[in-house]
Structure 1
Amino acid sequence: MMGPVLAACLLIILSTAWISQANGATCKKDGGVCTCNDQTKNVDCSSKGLTAIPSNIPADTDRLQLHMNKLSSLSAKAFHSLSSLTFLELSYNQLQTLPPGVFDHLVELDTLGLNNNQLKSLPSGIFDKLTKLTDLRLNTNKLQSLPHGVFDKLTELKELSLSNNQLKRVPEGAFDKLQNIKDLRLEENPWDCSCRDILYLSNWIREKKGTVSNIEAAECDGGTKAVLEITEEEAAEDCVYPNTTTAIPTTIITTLASSNDDDIPELPVPQENFQKFLGYQEPDHLPTQPQCLMSISGYLGLMMSLVLTSAAILYVIHFLKKA
């Protein structure tokens, strides 16, 4: 009668192993690409050549490192199951945009690294749920503007880096809600000191001088003068900055408005621009090589488990019949 008992034990062991593999498919110990530390709840997926976020990252992960990969986009739900995260590192990737709401479930997040990417803009409200954030790094991107109120909910923020971007101005009141800010890096941006919009930043720097580190390093475009030294006489122009790089010049709008329909020339529109106009978008991303390998590995493991499980069941039935 020992045969059926041993077979039953084998069946239980195989089932447990299969469940473990399915739940932790991202970790190296289960054949995945990332390194997981059960004690520190740290998942390290850095420097893996990833073009998409790995699946099945443990839900209780505290620190997630995804820096130095090839991420160019993120799914809006990429981090929705990781509400325990306090540290998220996405630096040194190729991110060009961020989908609205991508960070909304990370209510415990303390540190967010988005530096050294290719971000040109930020969605409105992108950081609104990150009320515990103390360190935000946006330096070394291609940011041309900031949404109004983008930092308003970050009242616990202590460090903010915006250096080495393409910022010419910040919205009125951009930093007013940062009650705990200690370090703000603004250097290496082409600050436009000829426009009145710069006066908010100039006055804010002058007011916080000596209490917030590094703000005095902000210089006007060309390095001719520090932003905090700009006067109202110098910043005399009322400049208008378009929200996008595809804004239609005012002269063209005026010309079209004053013309008859018959006089408006028919302009050729490139196919790719026409698709964008209609709202056409490419799929988020195709399956990546690491993901495909992980999927194949998972299926092979599942098939092997099913074969062994079936063999164990047949073994049990065989001995039960003999008994």
Structure 2
Amino acid sequence: MTGNWLLVLSIVFTVHMAHGCPQKCLCHMASKTADCKNRGFTEIPAHLPPETQILLLQNNRIWRINQNAFTRTPLLKILDLSNNSLSSFAPGALQKLRYLQVLNLTRNLIHYIENKTFSFLPHLKELDLSSNSIVRLPETFGNSTGNITLLSVKHNKLQKMERVLLESLPNLKVVLFKDNPWLCNCNVFGLKLWLESFLYRGGISDGIICATPGIRKGKDLLKVPYELFGACPLTTAHTHLATTHHHSFEHRSSLKHSHHNEHGENSRLSCEPKPKPRPVNLRHAIATVVITGVVCGIVCLMMLAAAVYGCAYAAITAKYHKEHLAPARQHGTPEEKEPFDSSLA
């Protein structure tokens, strides 16, 4: 009996080692999943089955990812590293994961993301960076990240976000910004324009709520009037205007106002708006046209009334002369006819 049990255990161990599943993990060959969560790992486990497509590593203590961590698992499609202790990535740590589609990095200790961190992930569709301590995002995630459809950066420490980063993700459908200390000054102007365009195209977002300055704390960025950005530097406003697609005349009018109010104060890093900006928008333009039309109409009516009055007066005068003066010239008075009669006698 003991020999039979040893035989069974030997077979199980042999199969386990043949598939290369780490001792603490559960490998499901049918679903091609390696379940390594809640196992106390401090780094990516080695000897994973090469055919693994789903790797679950949440709730561990992983604090770094070595450059060759995924060399044995090039077919990964879903990688869950949530609730670990990651603070950074080694250069090229993810470059072997060319088929990765979902990357979950929530609840880690990440402070910033370097440029092109996610390069060589051409099939990446969902990137979740929420619940970290990220204070800065790069201008690009990588050369081949244009297929990302979902991006979450909520619950971080972001004050601003480069518009060029979002524009490098043309297939975005959902972007989540919630619970960040957004600074709603000139630095967020381009993000406001991008977000309006994104929502207009049918995108989904939880919006951007301003944290500073104090006068805008708690306000939705989309509801901050364009006039309040009238003191932004020309380089900021003009650059954003050149690459945005506006869908209303009011946006264009507001940007022109931003251009005309610039007086070369590019050194004003805080870029706070002027206390009393001069608004120029669609409503004022319509009001101007209406008032001008009313004034012109009144003038035209006055001219028409004067013309009618003049014509009426001329007609009455002509009638009067015709009825009273003409007979008098034809028949004359008795005194005027008498000398003429006397000469005939």
Provide the TM-score with structure 1 as the length reference.
0.63
Residues 300-315 of structure 1 aligned to structure 2 (within 5 Å):
none
* 1:158 and 2:138 are equivalent in the alignment: no
Specify the alignment match of 1:132 in structure 2: 123
By how many angstroms is 1:123 displaced? 2.2
* 1:26 and 2:21 are equivalent in the alignment: yes
Deviations 1:139-190 (CA, angstroms, capped at 9, x unpaired): 1111110112225632211111011111111124111122221110011111
Q: Is the 8 A contact 1:83 1:105 kept in 2?
A: yes
Specify the alignment match of 2:318 in structure 1: none
* 1:38 and 2:29 are equivalent in the alignment: yes
Q: What letter matches 1:225 in structure 2?
A: K
Question: Are residues 127 and 84 of structure 1, via their aligned partners in 2, closer, same or farther at CA, if it must alter by over 3 Å?
Answer: same
Of residues 106, 115, 119, the one that matches 1:115 is: 106
Does the residue aligned with 1:221 lie in a helix, a strand or coil?
A: strand
Question: Are residues 166 and 72 of structure 1, via their aligned partners in 2, closer, same or farther at CA, if it must alter by over 3 Å?
Answer: same
Q: Which of the pair has more CA radius of gyration?
A: 2
Q: What letter matches 2:170 in structure 1?
A: Q
Q: Is the 8 A contact 1:173 1:200 kept in 2?
A: no
Specify the alignment match of 1:321 in structure 2: none
Q: Is the 8 A contact 1:201 1:227 kept in 2?
A: no
Q: What letter matches 1:145 in structure 2?
A: R
Q: What letter matches 2:21 in structure 1?
A: T
Q: Distance in 1 between matches of 2:128 and 2:16?
A: 35
Q: Is the 8 A contact 1:61 1:85 kept in 2?
A: yes
Q: Is the 8 A contact 1:23 1:56 kept in 2?
A: no
Q: Is the 8 A contact 1:151 1:175 kept in 2?
A: no
Q: CA RMSD in A?
A: 2.6
Deviates more, 1:122-131 or 1:104-113: 122-131
Q: Distance in 2 between matches of 1:103 and 1:182?
A: 24
Specify the alignment match of 1:268 in structure 2: none
Of residues 212, 228, 233, the one that matches 2:222 is: 228
Instruction: Judging by fraction of residues, say which structure has more helix.
Output: 2
By how many angstroms is 1:75 displaced? 1.1
Question: Are residues 190 and 159 of structure 1, via their aligned partners in 2, closer, same or farther at CA, if it must alter by over 3 Å?
Answer: same
Specify the alignment match of 1:202 in structure 2: 192
Q: Distance in 1 between matches of 2:12 and 2:76?
A: 27
Does the residue aligned with 1:209 lie in a helix, a strand or coil?
A: helix
Q: Distance in 1 between matches of 2:117 and 2:68?
A: 13
Does the residue aligned with 1:175 lie in a helix, a strand or coil?
A: helix
Question: Are residues 235 and 118 of structure 1, via their aligned partners in 2, closer, same or farther at CA, if it must alter by over 3 Å?
Answer: farther
By how many angstroms is 1:238 displaced? 2.6
Q: Is the 8 A contact 1:43 1:65 kept in 2?
A: yes
Identity of aligned residues (%): 25
Q: Select the structure with the greater relative contact order (CA < 8 A; seq sep ≥ 6).
A: 1
Deviations 1:103-135 (CA, angstroms, capped at 9, x unpaired): 111110110001111100112211121111111
Q: Distance in 2 between matches of 1:181 and 1:65?
A: 25
Deviates more, 1:168-177 or 1:182-191: 168-177
Q: Is the 8 A contact 1:60 1:84 kept in 2?
A: yes
Specify the alignment match of 1:142 in structure 2: 133
Q: Distance in 1 between matches of 2:232 and 2:25?
A: 52
Residues 270-285 of structure 1 aligned to structure 2 (within 5 Å):
none
Q: Is the 8 A contact 1:122 1:146 kept in 2?
A: yes
Specify the alignment match of 1:218 in structure 2: 208
- What residue ranges of structure 1 are gaps of 5+ in the alignment? 1-14, 241-323
Does the residue aligned with 1:173 lie in a helix, a strand or coil?
A: helix
